[in-house]
Structure 1
Amino acid sequence: MITAQTAFADTTAWRVRWTNEPTRHRELGVPAGASVHNRHQARIWVVTTATLDGRPVAISGSADRTVRIWDLLSGEQVGDPLTGHADVVGALDVTTVEGRPVAVSGGWDETVRIWDLLSGEQIGDPLTGHLNGVTTVATTMIDGRPVAVTTGFDRTVRVWDLVERRQVAEMTGHADGLSSLAVAVVDDRPVAVTGSTDRTVRIWDLATGQQIGDPLTGNTGIVFPVTITAVDGRPVAITGSSDETVRTWDLIDRRQIGEPMTGHEGVLSTMATTTVDGRPVLIAGGQDDLLRMWDLATRELLGAPLAGHTGWVLSVATTTIDGRPVAISGSTDCTLRMWDLAQYVETPAPAARRPVRAVTTALVGGRHVVVTGNGDDGIQLWDTASGAPARAIDTGDDPVDVLATAELDGRAVAVTAGADHTIRTWDLALGTPVGAPLTGHTSPVSGIAVAATDGAPVVVTASHDKSVRVWNLTDGTQIGPPRARDRRWVRAAATTTVDGRPTAVIGNRNGTLSLRPLTTNRDIARVASGAGGKPILHVAAATAGGRSFAITSSEQDETVRRWDLADQDVTGSLAVGYVTAVAATTIDDRAVAVTAVLAEVQVWDLATREQIGPTMNFPETVTAVTIDPQGLIIACFAGNTAVLTPLPG
C-alpha cells in the first residue's frame, strides 16, 4: 500500500507521479498537472530546435510578439518569454556567436533581433534595414563568420554579420514578397534558396551576393515553404505551394526532379526534413490541419498523417530525442505539438481513446491501484506507484458509466452501472463477475456510491427513472423501498456519515439535496440549494472534526455550494464554477474536496472553503477526478489518466 510522502497538513502543491498520456504526440507547455499553463496567446508562425545545457529545446515565435523556449523532455516552458518585437514574430533560427547560443528572430515590425538563449536577454539594438515585415530567417557561416540571412515582404534578401551586428549584403530579383528561405553549402559555396509569392524559386550565392542561374519555375501557386536536404547523395531543394503540391529541385543541375508530389489538401505552409529508419523523410503541413510524411527516396507518402492540431499548421522543425526522430509543429490553434515520427511510421494511428467516465482507487491483493471506467471499453486497473497496467476487465456489452469500489467478503470489488439499467459487481483480482446483476432500474443509472452499514457493504444508485435505490451488496437485496417521488431523473449520489449514521446524499433534478439513511432509504431531509431549481449534476461528501460536508454543482449555474449536512443548510460556496467533475474524502481528519473545471483542477479544505495549493492544468478537459485518503489526486483527461502526489511546503 502506498503511504503519503508528506503529512497532508503540510501539502502546498502536487507533482505528477505518472501519466499514460500517449507519447506519439503531446502539446508543449501543458504537462499534466502543471501549476502554470504556458501557451502562446496567438498563432505560432515559426519554430526551430536547438540544444541548451545538454537538453533538447524548441524555440517558437508567435503573433503574440514573443519568442519562447521549451524543454522537450519535460514539455515545460524555459524561463520567461523573450519580448521586444512590436508585431508578429514570423521568422526564427538559432546559431552560435562567439561561443554563446543565440536565436535570431525576424518580425513584421521590420526588425531582426539577436537573443542570448542562456540569459534570455536581447543582444544589442535591433537590426534594421528591411522596408517591410521580415518573413524568414536562416543562419549559416560565410568565410568563417556567423551570419543571418533574412527575407521580407520588401522583395529583398539581406545578409547580416552576427558578430558586428550589421548588414553586409542585399540581393534583389523577386518580383513580389518573399515567403520562404533555406540555406546550405552546395559545391563548397554557401547558397540560399528562396521562394516567393511571384511563384518562382531562386538560388543565391551568399559569398558573392549574386543569383545563380535562372529562376526555377513550375509552381502554379505561391511558394510558401522551402527546405534543403540530400537525396541519393545529391543536394536538393524541396518546395511546397498553395497549388497543393510538393516539388523537388536538383540544386546542381537546377531542374525539377520528377513530377510534383500530391496528397495534401489545401495550401502547404511549412516543411522540414529528417531521417527515419535510415530513410530521408519530409514532414509537410498546412491548411488541412495535418502533417504528412514523405519518403524522399520513393517519393511516396509514409505512415499515417499526424493529426492533433485544430488549425492551420504554420511551422514545423525536427530534432532527435534519445535517438528517436521527433517533429515540433506550431499552428493557428496557438499550440505547439511534439510528434514521435518513428511511431507514425511503425504503426497505424491508434483509435482515439474513449473519455474516462469514472475513476476511483482500491487495494487489490495488497497492491494499491487506480480503477477507471471507460464506457463500452470496460474497466482498467493501473498500478498507482508506477502507472503500469495491472488488469483490464472486459465488461462485454455492459457499459461502465459510473463506478465505485468496495470490499466484499475480503475481496476488492468494483460496482458498475450504465445505460443498460443494471448494476454489476466485479472481482478486481480475478476480473470476473461476482453474483447476479442487480436489476430494478428502468432507465440509465447515472450516480453510484458505496458505504457500509453494520459492517456490510451497501451500494446507492441514482437513475433517470427518478428513483434512488440502496442495495445490500452481500446478498443483492434492496434496503427499503426505492424512492421514486421525483418528477425527473436523479443524477448525483454520494455517501458520508451524518450524526453518526451512514447516509446517502442525493442531488435532485429539481435542485434540492436529499439525505437518506442507508438503513432505511427514506428521506430525513430535503433542502433547496438556492440554485433556482436548477438540476444538481455533481455531489461529493466528506466528514471531518465531527462535521459532515457536501459540495454540489448545478446545471447552468457557476456556483459550487458547500453544505453543512447536520444543519441541513448551504453554508457558503467555493471560488470556482461550472465544474466537470468533483470528489471528496477525509485526510488526517480534514474534509478535502477536488474539483475539475474543464482542464483545471483545484483542491479545497471544506471546513474553511480555502483552496489548497495552486490550480493544476491538464492538456484537455478533465472528465473524471478523485482524491484518495493518502492525498493522491487522480485526474482523467481525453482518455488518459494522471496520478499526482502531494509535496511538502
Structure 2
Amino acid sequence: MPPGPTPSFATADKLVEVMTLEVEPIDAYTPDGKRKLDPYFRFISYFPNGKQMISGSNDKSVRRWDLKARKEIEEARVVCEKEVFVVAVSRDGRWVVAGGGGPAYDNSAELKACEVETRMTKTFQGHLGTVTCIDISMDNKLLASGSTDRTGRIWDLNTGEFVAGPFECSDRSWLEAVRFSQDSKKLAVRSGNGRCLEVWDLQAQKLDVRVGKQSGVIFPSPPLFWTKKDRTIVAAFTFSGGYPATIYEFDSLTLETVGAPFEAHTELVIGLALSFDCALLASSSHDHTIKLWAFESRELLASFNVRDPYSLILSPDSRQLAYATSEQNLGKIRICDIPLEILASTWPTPSVCIHPHSNIHPLLVY
C-alpha cells in the first residue's frame, strides 16, 4: 500500500462550538429515583434545508430539532418501541426513517418511516434482528436496510412494500453500513467490522464484487459513500486483524483501492462524512479526535481533540460539522464552525454537477 502524503495540518485542543443541543432522556430513572439509562444520540442527520436536524437515541426517541431556535420541536417527537440505532431524512424532506432493536442486538427489529407533514407512520416488517443501517435512494423512492440478521432488504418508501432481497452477506456477518448508488441500481454494503465490503446488483439480485473476510466482535460503524458518477466508494476498512482505523477509496467495479489511504487515526473510526462537493472529508474516532481531510490530495488539514465523538455529519453547505456525544449524564449534539482557512484550502474544486439535496447522503457527479 503506498504511503499517504506527509500531513501539514493545524492541531487544536477543541473545535469552536456555535450551538449545543441537549435533553434529558425519556424514562431515565427508576421509580425510586435511581438512574437506569446512560443516554446518548446514536445517529444524527440534517434536513435538506439545513434548518432542522433529527436524532436517534438509546432512549427510543426520534427527535426533531429547530436549529434557529436551538431546541427540540417536541410535538414532532416519535417514541419507538425499541432503541433507535440509525435515522435518515429523505432528500425531499418528506420522510424521516428510523431503525433499531433490542439493546443487546437481540432478535427484535424495528423499522419505521414518519411523513413529516402529516406525521403518518408506517412500519417495514421482515428483519429478524436489530436494524443497524439504512439509506434512502436519490429519487426518494427506495429504502435500504441492514440488520444483525445478516441480511439487507429493499423497500418501497411510499408504500412500505418489500421489493428486493433479502441479500445475505457472503461472510454471514451483521450489516454495518448500506448505501445506494446514484442510479439506485447498486448497493454498497460493509460488514465484518470493516473487514468486508460488497457491491450488490439490485436488479439482478446478485453479488457483483466483494473484498475482505469475516470478523468477530461488532464495533460501531460509520457510513460509506459513493463518489464520482458511482465510480468509487469511500469507507473505513481494515485488511488485517483489529479494528478499521484507516479510510480507503475503492474502485466500485473491482473494489481495488484507489490512491493513498487516509491514515492518521490510531483507534477505531466511528464517524465519517463527505462534503457535498467531494472536497472535504471528516472523520471521528475512538482516539478522541475529529480530523478534516482534503479528499483529492488526502492531506490532513486539521485534527481536533474531542472527548468521545460519536455520530458525525457535515451541514448541507459544508461550513459546519455536528457530532453527538454523552457528557454529565446527558446526550449532547455539538455543532461547530469549520475554520475558514480549512474551507478556503479545499476550494476551488473540480467542476461538479450536484444532485439536489445530495448533502444528506453525498453522491457526487464529476
Counterpart selection for 1:95 from 83, 86, 90: 90
Tell me if the contact between 1:56 and 1:72 (Cα under 8 Å) persists in the aligned partners: yes
- Quickly say closer, same or farther: Cα 1:148–1:290, change in 2 above 3 A: same
**Structure 2 equivalent of residue 104 of structure 1:** 97
Gaps of 5+ in 1: 1-21, 31-37, 348-649
Tell me if the contact between 1:39 and 1:335 (Cα under 8 Å) persists in the aligned partners: no
Counterpart selection for 1:29 from 11, 21, 30: 21
Provide the secondary structure at the position in 1 that maps to 2:70.
coil
CA–CA distance in structure 1, aligned partners of residues 40 and 273 of structure 2: 19
- For residues 16-65 of structure 1, the C-alpha deviation after alignment (integer angstroms, 9 at most, x for no partner) is xxxxxx993244325xxxxxxx35561111111114xx562111101111
The structure, 1 or 2, with the larger RCO (C-alpha pairs under 8 Å, 6+ apart) is: 2
Tell me if the contact between 1:272 and 1:316 (Cα under 8 Å) persists in the aligned partners: yes
Gaps of 5+ in 2: 1-13, 27-38, 102-107, 238-242, 345-366
Tell me if the contact between 1:194 and 1:226 (Cα under 8 Å) persists in the aligned partners: no
**Structure 1 equivalent of residue 113 of structure 2:** 114
Tell me if the contact between 1:226 and 1:271 (Cα under 8 Å) persists in the aligned partners: yes
The CA deviation at 1:230 is 2.8
The CA deviation at 1:110 is 0.3
Matched, 1:326 2:320: yes
Equivalent residue letter for 1:101:
R
**Structure 2 equivalent of residue 200 of structure 1:** 196
Equivalent residue letter for 1:261:
F
The CA deviation at 1:140 is 0.6
Matched, 1:282 2:281: yes
**Structure 2 equivalent of residue 57 of structure 1:** 52
Matched, 1:123 2:118: no
- For residues 340-369 of structure 1, the C-alpha deviation after alignment (integer angstroms, 9 at most, x for no partner) is 22447269xxxxxxxxxxxxxxxxxxxxxx
RMSD: 3.0
- Quickly say closer, same or farther: Cα 1:324–1:200, change in 2 above 3 A: closer
**Structure 2 equivalent of residue 504 of structure 1:** none
Tell me if the contact between 1:304 and 1:345 (Cα under 8 Å) persists in the aligned partners: no
The CA deviation at 1:166 is 1.8
CA–CA distance in structure 2, aligned partners of residues 116 and 73 of structure 1: 22
CA–CA distance in structure 1, aligned partners of residues 232 and 202 of structure 2: 17
CA–CA distance in structure 2, aligned partners of residues 237 and 338 of structure 1: 27
Provide the secondary structure at the position in 2 that maps to 1:335.
strand
The CA deviation at 1:75 is 2.3
- Map 1:355-370; keep pairs closer than 5 Å: none
CA–CA distance in structure 1, aligned partners of residues 145 and 181 of structure 2: 14
The CA deviation at 1:261 is 2.4
- For residues 495-523 of structure 1, the C-alpha deviation after alignment (integer angstroms, 9 at most, x for no partner) is xxxxxxxxxxxxxxxxxxxxxxxxxxxxx
- For residues 500-553 of structure 1, the C-alpha deviation after alignment (integer angstroms, 9 at most, x for no partner) is xxxxxxxxxxxxxxxxxxxxxxxxxxxxxxxxxxxxxxxxxxxxxxxxxxxxxx
TM-score by length of 2: 0.73
- Quickly say closer, same or farther: Cα 1:343–1:212, change in 2 above 3 A: same
- Quickly say closer, same or farther: Cα 1:191–1:28, change in 2 above 3 A: farther
- For residues 174-230 of structure 1, the C-alpha deviation after alignment (integer angstroms, 9 at most, x for no partner) is 321111122222xx55322111126200111233322212x1228989783242143
The count of residues paired between Structure 1 and Structure 2 equals 300
Matched, 1:68 2:63: yes
TM-score by length of 1: 0.43
CA–CA distance in structure 2, aligned partners of residues 25 and 343 of structure 1: 14
**Structure 1 equivalent of residue 130 of structure 2:** 133
Tell me if the contact between 2:248 and 2:261 (Cα under 8 Å) persists in the aligned partners: yes
CA–CA distance in structure 1, aligned partners of residues 15 and 236 of structure 2: 28
- Quickly say closer, same or farther: Cα 1:134–1:338, change in 2 above 3 A: same
- Quickly say closer, same or farther: Cα 1:81–1:100, change in 2 above 3 A: closer
Q: Greater CA radius of gyration, 1 or 2?
A: 1
- For residues 146-188 of structure 1, the C-alpha deviation after alignment (integer angstroms, 9 at most, x for no partner) is 1110000111000111121121122113321111122222xx5
- For residues 55-101 of structure 1, the C-alpha deviation after alignment (integer angstroms, 9 at most, x for no partner) is 621111011110111123332222346334222211111116xx871
**Structure 2 equivalent of residue 265 of structure 1:** 266
Tell me if the contact between 2:289 and 2:303 (Cα under 8 Å) persists in the aligned partners: no
CA–CA distance in structure 1, aligned partners of residues 78 and 20 of structure 2: 19
CA–CA distance in structure 2, aligned partners of residues 203 and 225 of structure 1: 17
Identity value in percent: 19
CA–CA distance in structure 2, aligned partners of residues 328 and 193 of structure 1: 25
CA–CA distance in structure 1, aligned partners of residues 78 and 190 of structure 2: 29
The CA deviation at 1:289 is 2.9
- Map 1:141-540; keep pairs closer than 5 Å: 146-169=141-164, 170-174=166-170, 175-185=172-182, 188=183, 190-197=185-192, 199-213=195-209, 215-217=210-212, 224-230=221-227, 235-241=231-237, 242-274=243-275, 280-305=279-304, 307-308=305-306, 310-311=307-308, 313-320=309-316, 323=317, 325-333=319-327, 334-343=331-340, 345=342
Provide the secondary structure at the position in 2 that maps to 1:345.
helix
- For residues 97-139 of structure 1, the C-alpha deviation after alignment (integer angstroms, 9 at most, x for no partner) is xx871111101140111112235x3423x22111110001100
- Quickly say closer, same or farther: Cα 1:332–1:247, change in 2 above 3 A: farther
- Quickly say closer, same or farther: Cα 1:100–1:239, change in 2 above 3 A: closer
Provide the secondary structure at the position in 2 that maps to 1:46.
strand
